[in-house]
Amino acid sequence: MLEHLFGSKTRLKLLYLFYSYPERAFFVREISRQSGVQLNAVRREIANLTKIGIVKQVSADQAKTEEIGTERSKYFQLESNFVLWSELKSLLFRAHLLEEQDLIVRIKKRAGEVKFLLLTGIFTGEKDIGTDLLLVGKIKPVSVTRLIKEFEKTLGRSIRYTVMDGKEFSERREIGDKFLYSLLEAKHLIAIDEYGLTKTY
């Protein structure tokens, strides 16, 4: 079974997607777009996951979706009765944490002089937030873009990020900037902090 579960990166991307939205159904083209995987590969892995029992097909009228496909679209979602549902969720969560740590290490090494790094949004399960990643300091934009794109391929999802220099960050703090404070008040993880905000908020 483990061989079937982790036999490809595509399978892992799909598992991340389904476990990120356990009660939501997706149609195949939507899965392809969300994960950045070609349609044929998605169809093949959906068949594998359905055979194992992790994913099930649901009818259009039963599907809880955010997007609606065509009349011929088939919808799939996690099978809540899968015998290893909780164990697999825990394993994926731990793997995700390791990937996040790897991203943080790469940012420290290659993104410039990072004074502050905050993760929220898809990293913490926080919805309706303006960004997933906030970087402050003397940042190298090209390097950051390259790092994020690399991580998006692993995660199978797009990442929104915001870059500020130290002056802008300080000014926004002083005026009580709505966007900045929405990030600090939301569920977040501060990975780098040379401003002492972890002690203030």
One DSSP character per residue, 53-116 reads TSEEEE-TTT---SS---TT--EEEE-TT-TTHHHHHHHHHHHHHHHHHHHHHHHHHHSEEEEE
d(CA 145, CA 152): 10
Residue with tokens 């359905």: 50
pLDDT at res. 168: 96
pLDDT digit string, tens, across residues 160-189: 999 999 999 999 999 999 999 999 999 898
In order of 20, 35, 119, 184, the CA distances from 129 in angstroms are: 16, 21, 11, 11
Report the relative pairing of strands 55-58 and 75-78 from DSSP bridges.
antiparallel
> Which residues, 6+ apart, have CB-to-CB distance to 49 below 8 Å?
11, 14, 15, 18, 55
Q: Which CATH number fits domain 2-83: 1.10.3720.10, 3.40.50.970, 2.40.340.10, 1.10.10.10?
A: 1.10.10.10
pLDDT classification of 69: cutoffs 50, 70, 90: low
Structure tokens at 60: 């259009």
131 and 160 Cβ atoms separated by less than 8 Å: yes
The model scores a pTM over 0.95: no
Whether pLDDT at 59 is above 90: no
User: Does the domain at residues 96-200 carry the CATH identifier 3.30.460?
Assistant: yes
Determine the Cα angle at 20 with ends 14 and 22, to 5°: 95
Percent of the chain predicted with pLDDT > 70: 90
- CB atoms under 10 Å from CB of 17, counted, come to 20
**Average pLDDT of the residues in 109-114:** 93
Whether residue 1 has pLDDT greater than 60: no
Domain ranges of the chain: 2-83, 96-200
Highest mean pLDDT out of 14-23, 150-159, 180-189: 180-189
